[in-house]
Structure 1
Amino acid sequence: MKRTLFLKVMILMIVATGAILNTQAAKVQHLTTHSQSMDKDIETVVITPEGYSENNSYPVLYLLHGYSGNQNDWINNVPEIKNYADLYQFIIVCPDGAFSSWYFDSPIDNSIKYETYVAHELVDWVDNSFSTIASREGRAITGLSMGGHGALYLAFRNQDVYGAAGSLSGGVDIRPFPNNWDISKRLGTYAENKGNWEENTVINLVYKLTPGALEIAIDCGVGDFFYGVNCNLHEKLLERNIPHDFTTRPGGHTWEYWKNAIAFQSVFFHHFFEKGKED
């Protein structure tokens, strides 16, 4: 009940202070990072909040794009994320996860190592380049669609790196979609590489979680083609007694839905970051 009331109050604050936020000065930087594991440069958008200072340390929200997207998707389609960086005083990092990486280290293609890049190389670069809270208490990760899969996949497998994770319309079980979104280019065909698919789908990684170890927020519209697999993940988390927030509302696989959902998840992650400061 306390968390529900807190979230409602914070959302009202977003609406009430909208006019003020639009005058604030979050800084959007388009930067080039380097992946040693893939031996290539990767573009990244970094948003620092108004008043950013090297004298302070800031939590970081890693925000992942979906299939066929790039690092500019979030800032171009939901410029309001600048407001959330200002209001909650966190840094937002939006890396280019490639057209269809699914944020795996591919077991069949050594040139695709996006788990290594996002969960390790990028995190190290951000912590070395900006004034961050360089611990899991100061890091959260979320994303939409392919990025929703990626965020939970990376967080479940790297709980020493991230303390909180979310998913917006995430492809949290890839097995029902063996012919979609170039997944087979990363894992091989399901028919010939079943083990790769079983070992790298989010819903089969729940065994890695212990109650309370990772703050989790899952959001999916009831009209989304990923709605069923998100409900299945919710049920499995309940079965394993893993606390999590699970939100559904009318809507589909659209930017209109994600624009609304990221406002709520920003509050969720802000609450997580503030709790870390208290601890």
Structure 2
Amino acid sequence: MKLLKLTFLILLLSGGISQAKTDTIEVYSQAMKKSLKATVVKPSGSEEKDQEFPSVYVLHGAWGGYLDWHRNVRKPNLLQDLADLYQIILITPGVAPFSYYYDSPLMDSVKYETYISKELIPYVDANFPTINDRKSRGIVGLSMGGHGAMMISAKNPDLFIAAGSMSGVMNIDVRTWVGNEATQAERKKSQQEMLGEINYDYPFSEYTAVGLVDQMKENGIELLIDCGIDDFLIETNRQLHQLLLDNGTPHQYIERPGAHTWDYWTDALPFHILFVNQVFEKQKSK
């Protein structure tokens, strides 16, 4: 098995051709009264196998969509190769820009935590050969999707065993970002439209990842936080890292050269899927 995975890894890094199949689905959200698209990437030959597979939800960032992880990565067929390598099913949901994957208390059109946790996951488990168990389900994401992965997993520990963030918005307080002040003002305005007046200072709001560190500790979900040192969100990641250290939450934290780019995320995703798969394997031995 190790030799087989090594062979797959060599093909993955060299841009080998995958036979994994990708389906596009459309799931109606009763909570938001609209349909949303996603892709489901299944390992090669899964339809001929009498077998169920672990699943990982891979979330996109702001301005993005359900096809981002297929169209924008720098290695063709990256998700398909990873599905084959680890024999897992990968799901890429699409959500609205700047929604941060939370449920708005003010807007019925922004209920993305409910959509992912109570509508999309049950649909996928009912229609694809996934293992319907938290021990075989993970969630990762980039930027806004990193926030979504950390927030949704913290609030729904019955659904996930592992979560990963790449260049994540670990604090939606734009004062912690490094960058264009006009853009930051626009983001804060959109947050206020969806959330109203929330507390951006300690104790942090439940609508931002840094406000959920106690749940992260209590839940015991395995966490990987990864950010480039030149990323405008680096301080939000360092802040979450320190809060998790302060309250004694086990987690892995990585800083490495790179910025808020698809080059960075293309390199990051294989490590996040490896991390989640290692958690899956560890659960099998328990």
TM-score of the superposition, structure 1-length normalised?
0.89
1:118 aligned residue (116, 119, 123): 116
Aligned residue number for residue 179 of structure 2: none
Moved more, 196-205 or 112-121: 196-205
Instruction: Provide the rounded CA distance (Å) in 2 between the counterparts of 1:247 and 1:14.
Output: 25
Asked if structure 2 preserves the Cα contact closer than 8 Å seen for 1:21 and 1:87, the reply is: no
Change (3 A) 1:243 1:193: closer
Q: What does the per-residue CA deviation read over 1:105-151, in whole Å, with 9 as the maximum and x for residues that have no partner?
A: 10111221100001111110011011111011011001000000000
Are 1:259 and 2:253 an aligned pair? Answer: no
Aligned residue number for residue 186 of structure 1: 194
Asked if structure 1 preserves the Cα contact closer than 8 Å seen for 2:164 and 2:272, the reply is: yes
1:181-220 superposed matches below 5 A: 181=187, 182-188=190-196, 192-194=197-199, 198-210=205-217, 213-220=220-227
The sequence identity of aligned pairs, in percent, is 38
1:51 aligned residue (45, 53, 56): 45
1:227 aligned residue (211, 215, 234): 234
Instruction: Provide the rounded CA distance (Å) in 2 between the counterparts of 1:17 and 1:87.
Output: 10
2:147 aligned residue (143, 146, 149): 149
Q: What does the per-residue CA deviation read over 1:210-255, in whole Å, with 9 as the maximum and x for residues that have no partner?
A: 3671010010000001101101111111111111111111110000
Alignment gaps of 5+ in structure 1: 1-5
Q: Which amino acid aligns with 1:59?
A: P
Change (3 A) 1:242 1:100: same
Asked if structure 2 preserves the Cα contact closer than 8 Å seen for 1:21 and 1:86, the reply is: no
Aligned residue number for residue 280 of structure 2: 273
Note the C-alpha offset of 1:269: 0.9
Instruction: Provide the rounded CA distance (Å) in 2 between the counterparts of 1:244 and 1:13.
Output: 30
Q: What does the per-residue CA deviation read over 1:49-89, in whole Å, with 9 as the maximum and x for residues that have no partner?
A: 11214611111100000001100000111231210010001
Instruction: Provide the rounded CA distance (Å) in 2 between the counterparts of 1:128 and 1:146.
Output: 27
Are 1:29 and 2:29 an aligned pair? Answer: no
Instruction: Provide the rounded CA distance (Å) in 1 between the counterparts of 2:136 and 2:165.
Output: 18
Note the C-alpha offset of 1:267: 0.7
Q: What does the per-residue CA deviation read over 1:141-173, in whole Å, with 9 as the maximum and x for residues that have no partner?
A: 010000000000000111011111010000011
Change (3 A) 1:207 1:10: farther
Aligned residue number for residue 168 of structure 1: 166
Q: Which amino acid aligns with 2:46?
A: Y
- RMSD across aligned positions (CA): 2.4
Aligned residue number for residue 76 of structure 1: 71
Asked if structure 2 preserves the Cα contact closer than 8 Å seen for 1:60 and 1:93, the reply is: yes
Change (3 A) 1:244 1:19: closer
Equivalenced residues, count = 269
Aligned residue number for residue 96 of structure 1: 94
Note the C-alpha offset of 1:257: 0.3
Instruction: Provide the rounded CA distance (Å) in 2 between the counterparts of 1:21 and 1:56.
Output: 27
Asked if structure 2 preserves the Cα contact closer than 8 Å seen for 1:104 and 1:186, the reply is: no
Instruction: Provide the rounded CA distance (Å) in 2 between the counterparts of 1:63 and 1:88.
Output: 15
Q: Which amino acid aligns with 2:241?
A: H
Aligned residue number for residue 180 of structure 2: none
Instruction: Provide the rounded CA distance (Å) in 2 between the counterparts of 1:169 and 1:83.
Output: 23
Q: What does the per-residue CA deviation read over 1:90-117, in whole Å, with 9 as the maximum and x for residues that have no partner?
A: 0000011112211011011122110000
Change (3 A) 1:122 1:272: same
Note the C-alpha offset of 1:266: 1.1
Q: Which amino acid aligns with 2:108?
A: N
